Amino acid sequence: MSNTRPHTVTADWLYEQFGDEDLVIVDTTVHLTMPPEGSVHIDPGLDTYLEAHIPDAVYADLFTDFSDHRAPMPFTAASSERFAAAAGAVGIGQGRRVVLYDQGNGMWAARLWWQLRLDGFDDVAVLDGGLSVWRADGYPVAEGQVVPHAAMFVPRRRPEMLCSAESIAAALDDPRILIIDARDPATGRGDNPSYPRRGHIPGSVTIAYGDLVDLETGRLRPTDELRAVFEEAGALDPEVSPVTYSGGGIAATGVAHALAVVGRTDVAVYCGSLDEWAGADSLPSVEGPEPR
């Protein structure tokens, strides 16, 4: 999929592709709220998709269909077999080109982008700015459900793109591994009332996904600005291997996607992230100041 920015496409580019029978556009929207007084509430986002979506876009339920519900963490990546069934059901498979978007800041689209690449599918990009930019640029939206044209998805898992708690724990003192916290520093300090879990994995550095996105448009910041952020944190050093994590493993994939945009495609994601890490008594966690 050719584009001036790897792993992303613009609204103009996408509109020009309309009519391509091999193009699959996928709305990945999830609404996640974390009220201070209660537990996390997950709304798959189907209702907002039905109200307005990019014409011909199908909907992918990341929570119900693309996650492993036997795992204790709600968004644990599905097995290759489960993922292949879910991807094929929404029309993703051999010979298809895929563009993902969401109705937020691109984090959920980045999540499915990472999962597709985890299982060996590379002809996928994220619509920069998602539905909000699509609409702001004057392009049409549609209502109702689009029925997918099912495809055969053959998974080819890349285990090096997925980290476990055990592999992270074994790498804590390894200078060749750069552990990246994708949450904002306030959350790590425990200052975010919507996410009371505080602390961070020892030795991690902060590259907050929210700092990589233009808050007004939802677009990723320009490539040169992204590169400067990553260089300062050491994430572009060819001698280290970056691993990202967040609260539940979603923002972590956003940072991994942004790193791919600037050419770093070998980033691994700790899927269980701090939700899993902090819940295990055997794993060290540091509270207080943000990571270095």
The two structure tokens encoding residue 43: 């709304």
* Count of residues in the chain: 292
Q: Give the span between the Cα atoms of 49 and 154, in whole angstroms.
A: 27
Predicted pLDDT at 211: 95
CATH architecture observed for domain 8-157: 3-Layer(aba) Sandwich (3.40)
Amino acid, single-letter form, for residue 271 = C
Other Cβ atoms closer than 10 A to 181: 27
Q: Give the span between the Cα atoms of 100 and 109, in whole angstroms.
A: 5
**Phi, psi values for residue 146, rounded to 5°:** -100, 125
Predicted pLDDT at 292: 53
**Beta-bridge partners for 268:** 243
Q: What is the pLDDT of residues 265-285, one digit of tens each?
A: 999 999 999 989 988 878 887
The CATH 3.40.250.10 portion of the chain extends over 8-157, 160-277
Predicted pLDDT at 182: 96
Closest by CA position to 148, among listed 233, 30, 25: 25
Q: Give the span between the Cα atoms of 260 and 262, in whole angstroms.
A: 5
**Phi, psi values for residue 77, rounded to 5°:** -60, 135
Q: Give the span between the Cα atoms of 98 and 93, in whole angstroms.
A: 9
User: Look-up: residue for tokens 């970056």?
Assistant: 242
Q: What is the CA radius of gyration of the chain?
A: 18
Q: What is the pLDDT of residues 185-216, one digit of tens each?
A: 766 655 555 555 568 899 999 999 999 999 88
Predicted pLDDT at 74: 78
List the pLDDT tens digit at each of the 292 positions of the chain.
Answer: 444 456 999 999 999 999 999 999 999 999 876 655 555 667 788 999 999 999 999 999 998 999 998 887 778 999 999 999 999 999 999 999 999 999 999 999 999 999 999 999 999 999 999 999 999 999 999 999 999 999 999 999 999 999 999 999 999 999 999 999 999 876 665 555 555 556 889 999 999 999 999 988 999 999 999 999 999 999 999 999 999 999 889 999 999 999 999 999 999 999 999 989 988 878 887 765 445 5
Question: If residue 23 lies in a helix (H) or strand (E), which one and from where to where?
Answer: strand 23-27
**Beta-bridge partners for 204:** none
> Is 84:65 a contact under the CB 8 Å cutoff?
no
User: Look-up: residue for tokens 């709220």?
Assistant: 33
> Is 200:291 a contact under the CB 8 Å cutoff?
yes
Sign of torsion over alpha carbons 3, 7, 10, 16? positive
The CATH topology of domain 160-277 is Oxidized Rhodanese; domain 1 (3.40.250)
